[in-house]
Structure 1
Amino acid sequence: MPAMEPLHTLRAGVLEVAIHQSGPADGPPVFLMHGFPYDIHAYAEVSPLLAQAGCRVVVPYLRGFGPTRFLSPATPRSGEQAALGADLLALLDALRVPRAVLAGYDWGGRAACVVAALWPDRCAGLVSYNSYNLQHIARAMEPDTPANEHRLWYQYYFHSERGRAGLAQHRRALTRLLWQLWSPSWRFDDASFERSAAAFDNPDFVEVVIHSYRHRFGLVPGDPAYAAIERQLAAQPPIAVPTISFDGGDDGVREPAPAEAFAHRFTGARSHRIVPGVGHNMPQEVPRVFADAVLELVRSSR
């Protein structure tokens, strides 16, 4: 898998964001958002497929990952969902993109869902792995089934200072374990992991990750700058833009759910698909399937 180079950086909101761009500048814009603990190389094979089809493809490093940096040391290193959504909105503004197809999974899918739900005029279509990917923080402390609680062990680990220290000390061993557990049928090689793991050396990685997994359970306050957005998300707003949602048959984080499980959260056209044999890192595991879904929305939005 080739490295996604060269990178371009620009100021967007509170960040100096590192992005990879490909495809014609006047093509229909597509933003591809990676998750934790991954990086832009999740889209190393998706991006060329979209660029060859004529799309303008933008793949940013999220806050706390890779070369992306905070502009000010005073900015809280928040990993909350509102911050991720605000970062994506700021990037759309910085690139002067009025409307784009937004696609992602895990943290990146959550950022795309936030923008699709709260600023639907900026989203021409949504590809969302794990469907309605907005956190319901008010209910986060309600217990789940034992099987699902077992899947979330890493989140509870990060709630403790032992977990913070463990992530800081063993970030490669820990994140590699998560890759293996979350995508049990994906046979990635050492080079693929190391290419992405370099992004975890970001100086803010640990703080952003720890805050993310504590905030979603209501254990720590958010950045006051995003309080208004969090209040809107607390109402669990519907997503009205055209959507293709996916679940993976082998996802080690969340079991696949039928379309009707989240149907009430989508008020626009939506197609839900379960992909057999796919774990949590869908775009890197089955890039053609992911790219085809993005192109389906690009073509329907014209």
Structure 2
Amino acid sequence: MQASLRHARTAKLDIAYSDSGPPAGQPVLLLHGWPDSARAWASVAARLNAAGFRTIVPDLRGFGATRFVRDDIMRDGTGVALAHDAADLAAAIGLEHFDVVGHDWGARAAYTLAALFPERVRRISALALAFQPHGAFILPTNFEQARRFWYQWFMTLDDGPAAVRRDPKGFARIQWETWSPPGWYDDDEFEATARAFDNPDWAEVTLNGYRTRWCADTLSDPDYDRSRITLRTIDVIDVPTLMIQGGADQCDEPELSQGQEKHFSAGYRRLVLDGVGHFPPREAPEQVARALIEHLR
């Protein structure tokens, strides 16, 4: 991605982001996942820019060069917090209406943005994650899927957080090694991406994002309580949606995103990429970009 890094100040964050493509082009927020960084969108963003779209690609809270503006702000890693960050960034750079494309954590933020701010979001695309009605996390009854979520259970153990803080890059690398078919990345790319995990808040945001799902004693930022209450009432998205699923995803079973049309009143298309794992923007950027251009136009 050729655009230089910019910064936008919000009430809680100094958000680092890149802004590339035609300045007057249709604006698209590209939100990366976990454990990943804004680098994930480089190839896709270049293709969108060539097609006339303006792409805004932030480092999520806890990643890269994005920083909290005060020490007393809770390091909330939930989808509601991420969605508010994206909406705040858009407001800070003067975007009243925009499209959102999100992968993994970014996909959750995209669904949440569409649920909470449908008047601002034109279209969304979610990669690798199915929509969760009412924002609810349901314990997998499928033991195979529960096994795939070992990393989430690990973070709920008494000594799990200390282990993640001690070796964040080692923890992240295991997910890269096991969530997709082998051979999709090299050591240099992982190391370049993993520099985003040097952020001093990466471990705390990560731990909060997962522990809040399963541990009743893990707190979330109370500033977002009203949005969480609203989200619990929503099981239908009123924004046109494209869901892109890797057919060989070893983190989230492809079947989890099947049959969700009833939750999308403005249209829902699901595209399955055969042989692609959990990281479609990196593994199949040309296919992803082609599908996005068709959807966003």
**Does TM-score exceed 0.5, indicating one fold?**
yes
1:246 is aligned to 2:244: yes
Partner of 1:89: 87
- Note the C-alpha offset of 1:112: 1.0
Q: Distance in 1 between matches of 2:135 and 2:233?
A: 10
Percent identity between matched residues is 35
1: CA distance, partners of 2:85 / 2:254: 28
Q: In 2 relative to 1, CA 290–88 (structure 1 residues): closer, same or farther, beyond 3 Å?
A: same
2:154 is the counterpart of 1:157: yes
Structure 2 letter corresponding to 1:162: D
Q: 1:274 corresponds to which residue?
A: 272
Q: Displacement, 1:240?
A: 1.4
The match for 1:256 is 254
Q: Secondary structure in 1 aligned to 2:119?
A: helix
> C-alpha displacement at 1:25, in angstroms?
0.9
RMSD value over aligned CA atoms? 1.8
| Residue in structure 1 matched with residue 212 of structure 2 by the alignment | 215
Q: Distance in 1 between matches of 2:37 and 2:252?
A: 20
- 1:175 corresponds to: 172
Query: Do the aligned partners of residues 139 and 176 (structure 1) sit closer, same or farther apart at CA in structure 2, a change above 3 Å counting?
Result: closer
**Closer/same/farther in 2, CA of residues 253 and 67 from structure 1, 3 Å limit:** same
**1:127-156 deviation digits (Å, cap 9, x = unpaired):** 11245434756553x452110110000001
Q: How does 1:68-79 map to 2 (within 5 A)?
A: 68-79=66-77
Contact 2:244/2:270, CA 8 A, preserved across alignment? yes
Aligned residues: 296
Is 2:14 aligned against 1:16?
A: yes
Seen in structure 2, the aligned counterparts of structure 1 residues 259 and 68 have a Cα distance that, compared at 3 Å, is: closer
- CA distances 1:160-191 after superposition (whole Å, capped 9, x unpaired): 24221111122122211101111124421111
Q: Equivalent residue of 2:76, what SS?
A: coil
The letter for the 1-side match of 2:113 is V
- Unaligned 5+ segments in structure 1 are none
Letter in 1 for 2:150: W
Quote the Cα distance in structure 2 between the aligned partners of 1:182 and 1:19.
27
Aligned 1:31-46 pairs, distance under 5 A: 31-46=29-44
Q: Given that residues 239 and 267 in structure 1 are in contact (C-alpha distance below 8 angstroms), is that contact kept between their aligned partners in structure 2? A: yes
My pick for the range that moved more, 12-21 or 58-67, is 12-21
CA contact (8 A) 2:261 2:267 kept: no
Which residue identity lines up with residue 145 of structure 1 in the other structure? Answer: N
Letter in 1 for 2:193: S
Partner of 1:124: 122
Q: Is the 8 A contact 1:29 1:101 kept in 2?
A: yes
Report the alpha carbon displacement of residue 39 of structure 1 after superposing the two structures with TM.
Answer: 0.2
8 Å contact kept, 2:3–2:20: no
The gaps in structure 2 that reach 5 residues or longer are: none
Q: Answer whether contact 1:118 1:237 (CA < 8 A) is retained.
A: no
Distance in 1 between the 2:134 and 2:122 partners?
25
Which runs of 4 or more aligned residues in structure 1 lie more than 3 Å from their structure 2 counterparts after TM superposition?
Answer: 130-140
Deviation at residue 230 of structure 1 after TM alignment: 0.8
CA distance in 2: counterparts of 1:20 and 1:168, whole angstroms? 28
Q: Deviations over 1:2-38 (max 9, x none)?
A: x665211111231100001111111100111000000
Partner of residue 30, structure 1? 28
The more displaced of 245-254 and 211-220 is 211-220
Distance 1:249 1:277 in 2: 6
Q: Is the 8 A contact 1:243 1:270 kept in 2?
A: yes
Give the Å deviation of 1:117: 1.4
SS state at 2:61 partner: coil
Assess if the C-alpha contact under 8 Å between 2:103 and 2:129 holds in 1.
Answer: no
- Cα distance, 1:259 vs structure 2: 6.4
Q: 1:97 is aligned with what amino acid?
A: L
| 2:222 equivalent among 199, 221, 224 | 224
1:186–1:285: 8 Å Cα contact kept in structure 2? no
